[in-house]
C-alpha cells in the first residue's frame, strides 16, 4: 500500500513519535511506502512532500515538534483546496492518509472523508480536549512542565510571601490547569468550564495569608473568564483563523487581586514552553501506539475512523464522534480538585 501522513494545527510533544511509528509499522509490518506531507494540509493541497522510511526516522522518538512541519491551513479554506488535495491523493496513489491533529485538523479530515478521501485520524493536543479519547499525547508532557513550574513558583512565593498567578494553556477547557493545579497544590485553579468570581478568589487568598506566611500560587487556564459583570474585561481580538487571541487573563486576575487585597502579586505565563521539547515516556508510548493503530486501521478497512485511548486500550472511533464536541473537564475530577483549594 501507499500511505501518507501529515501533522496539522498547533504542534505538541509526541508528533515525531507518531510519524516514526507510522513509518515503522507501514514499512516493516506491511512493506508499504510512506510519504510525508509538509505543513499539514498545505502539503496536501500544494503537493509538497518528503519520502519517509525507517532510516529517515532515526532519532525521532524523543524529539519535540514535528519534522513534517505544521500549519492551520485547510483545503476547505484554500482556493480550489479540496480539488487540489484530491489531485495530490490520486497522483500519489494513496490507499490511506494518516491525519495527526487536533479539533480543527480532524474536523477537516472528517469533512474530506465524507467526500471520499481515505483518511484515518490520530488525535493530538496538549489541551486534551478531543472527544472520544481519554487522552491525547502531548497532554501529559504539558502537565509535567506546568507542575514543575508551579513547584518552582512555590519556593520563590514563600520567600517573599507573594501571590503568584501562573497562566497555562487551555483555550476552551481546563484539563492542563486542573491536573497541574492539583499536582502542584495550587491555592485556586480557574478553568474555562466554570466562570470565576474574583471576590471569592480574593477571599481564599486572604484567609490563607491570615494563617501565616502561606504564599499562594493560583493556576489560571488562558480561557478562564470571570462571571459576567464581576470584573472589567477588555475587548477580545480575533486572529486570521477566527480564533480569539488569548493569553493575559493572569495579568487581569493578578491586578484585581492586588487592588482588592494589597498583596504583592506576580504573573508567570507559561505559553508555548508547554508545547516544546521532548515528550514524557507516557506520551511517547501513546503516540507510538496510535501510529501503529492508524496504519493497521488503513489495512483493516478503518477509513473515516480515529485512534482512541479507551479504558487503557487503543480502539477506533468514528471521526464524526471525535469532532462532535469539545471534551470538557470531567466533573468528578474537578470536584476533587476543588477539595484542595485553600
Binding site for ligand F6P (CB under 6 A): 10, 125-127, 169-171, 222, 246, 275
Neighbour tally for 158: CB within 10 Å:
15
Closest CB to ligand F6P among residues 241, 340: 241
Q: Report d(CA 78, CA 196) in Å as an integer.
A: 39
CB of 335 to ligand F6P, least distance (A): 23
Q: Report d(CA 84, CA 260) in Å as an integer.
A: 57
The residue written with cell numbers 477547557 in the block is 173
Closest CB to ligand F6P among residues 206, 328: 328
CB of 57 to ligand F6P, least distance (A): 23
Longest dimension (CA), the chain: 70
Q: Out of 11, 32, 39, 127, which one is annotated catalytic? A: 127
For residue 6, list its beta bridge partners: 99
Closest CB to ligand F6P among residues 82, 135: 135
**Residue facing ligand F6P at closest CB distance:** 10
Tell me the DSSP string of 205-243. HHHHHHTSS--EEEEEETT--BPTTSS--PPPPB-TTS-
Closest CB to ligand F6P among residues 25, 171: 171
CB of 228 to ligand F6P, least distance (A): 22
CB of 341 to ligand F6P, least distance (A): 23
**127 part of the active site:** yes
Q: Report d(CA 338, CA 188) in Å as an integer.
A: 8
* Sign of the torsion angle spanned by Cα atoms 311, 313, 319, 322: positive
Name the residues annotated as catalytic. Answer: 127
Amino acid at each position: 500500500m501507499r500511505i501518507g501522513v501529515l501533522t496539522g494545527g498547533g504542534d505538541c510533544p509526541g508528533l515525531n513519535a507518531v510519524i516514526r511509528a507510522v513509518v515503522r509499522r507501514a514499512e516493516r509490518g506491511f512493506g508499504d511506502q510512506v510519504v510525508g506531507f509538509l505543513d499539514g494540509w498545505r502539503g496536501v493541497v500544494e503537493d509538497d512532500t518528503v519520502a519517509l522510511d525507517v532510516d529517515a526516522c532515526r532519532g525521532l522518538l524523543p524529539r519535540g515538534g514535528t519534522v513534517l512541519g505544521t500549519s492551520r491551513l485547510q483545503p476547505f479554506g484554500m482556493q480550489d483546496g479540496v480539488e487540489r488535495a484530491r489531485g495530490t491523493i490520486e497522483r500519489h496513489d494513496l490507499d490511506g492518509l494518516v491525519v495527526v491533529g487536533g479539533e480543527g485538523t480532524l474536523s477537516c479530515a472528517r469533512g474530506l472523508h465524507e467526500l471520499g478521501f481515505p483518511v484515518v485520524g490520530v488525535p493530538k493536543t496538549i489541551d486534551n480536549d478531543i472527544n472520544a479519547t481519554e487522552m491525547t499525547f502531548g497532554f501529559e508532557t504539558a502537565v509535567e512542565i506546568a507542575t514543575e513550574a508551579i513547584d518552582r513558583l512555590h519556593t520563590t512565593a514563600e520567600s517573599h510571601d507573594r501571590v503568584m498567578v501562573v497562566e497555562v494553556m487551555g483555550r476552551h477547557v481546563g484539563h492542563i490547569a486542573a491536573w497541574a493545579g492539583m499536582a502542584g497544590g495550587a491555592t485556586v485553579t480557574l478553568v474555562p468550564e466554570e466562570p470565576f468570581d474574583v471576590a471569592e478568589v480574593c477571599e481564599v487568598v486572604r484567609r490563607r495569608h491570615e494563617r501565616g506566611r502561606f504564599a499562594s500560587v493560583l493556576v489560571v487556564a488562558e480561557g478562564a473568564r470571570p462571571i459576567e459583570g464581576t470584573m472589567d474585561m477588555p475587548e477580545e481580538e480575533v486572529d486570521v483563523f477566527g480564533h480569539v487571541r488569548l493569553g493575559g487573563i493572569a495579568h487581569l486576575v493578578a491586578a484585581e487581586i492586588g487592588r482588592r487585597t494589597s498583596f504583592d502579586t506576580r504573573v508567570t505565563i507559561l505559553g508555548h514552553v508547554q508545547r516544546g521539547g521532548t515528550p514524557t515516556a507516557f506520551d511517547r508510548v501513546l503516540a507510538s501506539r496510535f501510529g501503529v493503530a492508524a496504519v493497521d486501521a488503513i489495512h483493516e478497512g478503518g477509513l473515516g475512523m480515529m485512534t482512541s485511548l479507551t479504558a487503557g486500550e487503543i480502539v477506533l472511533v468514528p471521526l464524526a464522534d471525535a469532532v462532535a464536541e469539545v471534551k470538557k473537564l470531567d466533573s468528578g475530577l474537578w470536584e476533587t480538585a476543588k477539595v484542595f483549594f485553600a
